[in-house]
Amino acid sequence: MNAQLVSGEHGVLAVFNETGVFAAADVHVARRVAALSGADIGDHELLAVALAVRAVRTGSTCVKLDEIGQIAPETPESDDDATPVELPWPDPAELVAALTTSPLVTGCPSGPLRPLALVTSDDGPLLYLRKYFRQEQTIREILAQRRAQRPTVDAAALAAALAAVFGDEQPGGYDRQRAAAALAATSWTTVLAGGPGTGKTYTVARILAVMEELLGQDVRIGLCAPTGRAAAQMQASINDHRTSLRALHTEPAATTVHKLLGWRPDGSYRRGADDRLPYDVVVVDETSMLPVSMMSSLLESLRPHARLILVGDPHQLSSVDAGAVLADLVERRDRADTPLPEAFAAVAAPPPGEFDEAERLALADGVITLTRGHRYGGQISEVAAAIKAAAGTEVDAVVDLICGEGADRFADDDQGRVILVDPDDLEPVRRTVIDWARRLRDTATAGDARGALAALMAHRVLCAHRDGRHGVSGWSRTILGWINDDADARTGAAQWYPGEPILVNRNDPTHRIFNGDSGVVIADGDETSVVFARGKDIQPLRPSQIADSSPVYAMTIHRSQGSQFEAVTVVLPDADAHLLTKELLYTAVTRAQQHVFIVGTEAELRAALSRSVQRASGLGSAVREIS
């Protein structure tokens, strides 16, 4: 029996469970909530609870009730040829009417239990598990309070600070990095968005230097990121920029958001409204990975007059948990037309035509997007931009740019190529992998740590799944077969051989390695070491110091976020795979600096471009609870 099927379920939820719309957990929670309510719960209300639970399980914070009929059954692979089932979805208006008077929304006779929240929005009626509605409301209310007033900043002092850090203004266009620093100085909350290679971390280092100029060298700075690896990368990057800047004297230490807030085993945090963070400035990197629950806790923990700088790419894959907070904040649709901060307008007002209307409103709301990429160029740059915009007929333009006549103008370009590779003819990928393995082995055998680390980042195979023939496990076997068939690339007989690429699978702050870090084994006299890059520095460890690792011949696209490689091979899953989205493709393509091989068919490429991650949320518009 399928483990996701609920034994003995014969009610309204049975058919939704049998077709895969609801997992067993969705059904069990709905039944349990109904039993705890002490009220007579009807079929519409049972369905609503299961929908709200499913929404969180699949990454949303709420359900768009007007669109429930578009939820597709997740039919098991063994039943691909099965006749589609007509699901008994209720009319949305009838469902809203039933919920408006439901004790699950208004209050249960068994006590203060009100597990559901029903609200109106620009997207129609939304249904939440109340916990997530409260978290969104916390985010909305605190950000509104922080927007309602501005820091007091003298325009002349701000201009002097910008000049000290960035130098004199240069002719030839509006400097968005300089503008971002001015915006962060004149706003309590700033969102610094931008794609890979647009200089976000470079800009953050300069923002902190400007803060130091304005607030003094004793300014208290907190740096954090959702993962230990992202925090370590930010720390290394800030340190590198500090060395080149010679303007930032403060040495802030980066940590995870969990540690910053004082995470407890029960899921709560020590920090909060009654125990605020002690910082004057808090920077959160990789904010696209931050779920709504953690964002609400972070905002509650900030002192009202602490500056918050949220950094990330809203077009990358979102958090594993519920919410897409960064995208919601960047793409809000209910912005008021407010004036720019006075000091900002005096020193960094954009010239006419620099921003469109949406960007202008966002700027006044503390949101600025860096657009000038420095990581890649050529075809990769155009494809990445086209993927972000892909919708409807624009899909054809992206396909043409990758494998049609539009790609012809890049044929002689050695930089920034994107090539679709037939899954039945993997010779271009095999040659690239063999060259990569040879380079790894040669540098590692020679004990050349810096050369081996450069070789490690020369290529990576990126997959959507961990398992299966399209996944990390299947491709790792294929790559090992290719390498062992080549005398100049062949691996050692045991683990920890020179040239072996290693992926860390568990955080180990003691040795400063984190889940997702990659390193390479090198010869070290008669022994071996594993070396990791930390910005411009190299960190060596003995194999015995690494508690949990695995060879990394391929990795998931999700784990590759925050990394960059000279070239990547992107393996597309089957066209009907739910993970295959344009966000997945964009994230994978933008990991590369020079070359991208996309292994898949045109049908799979079109499927990726035609499907977006659907995360329902109320943060992007005004909402009102229906009590």
Question: Is residue 265 a known part of a binding site?
Answer: no
Cα distances from 328 to residues 179, 200, 285, 370, 381, in angstroms, run: 22, 19, 16, 17, 24
The torsion angles phi and psi of 392, rounded to 5 degrees, stand at: 60, -130
For 412-474, the DSSP string reads T-SSSEEEEE-TT--HHHHHHHHHHHHHHHHHHHTT-HHHHHHHHTTEEEEES-SSSTTSHHH
* Dist CA 164 CA 247 (whole Å): 8
Question: Is residue 443 a known part of a binding site?
Answer: no
* Dist CA 471 CA 462 (whole Å): 9
Question: Is residue 600 a known part of a binding site?
Answer: no
Nearest residue to 311 via CA among 215, 217, 212, 231: 231
For helices 200-215 and 155-166, give the axis angle rounded to 10 degrees.
Answer: 130
* DSSP SS3 for 620: coil
Question: Is residue 197 a known part of a binding site?
Answer: yes
Residues 326 and 193 sit within 8 Å (Cβ to Cβ): yes
Cα distances from 11 to residues 18, 76, 88, 530, 532, in angstroms, run: 12, 21, 12, 57, 56
Please work out, in degrees rounded to the nearest 5, the angle formed at the alpha carbon of residue 570 by the alpha carbons of 564 and 608: 115
**Residue 213: count of CB within 10 angstroms of its CB:** 22
Question: Is residue 124 a known part of a binding site?
Answer: no
Question: Is residue 323 a known part of a binding site?
Answer: no
| Element (DSSP H or E) covering residue 589 | helix 582-589
Q: Bridge-partner residues for 551, per DSSP?
A: 502
* Dist CA 452 CA 461 (whole Å): 18
Strand order in the sheet with 549-551: 537-541, 527-534, 518-524, 501-504, 549-551
* Dist CA 323 CA 454 (whole Å): 36
Q: Which two tokens stand for residue 69?
A: 């009929």
Question: Is residue 196 a known part of a binding site?
Answer: yes
Question: Is residue 369 a known part of a binding site?
Answer: no
For helices 394-403 and 602-610, give the axis angle rounded to 10 degrees.
Answer: 140
Binding residues, by number, are: 194-201
Binding residues for ATP, by number, are: 194-201
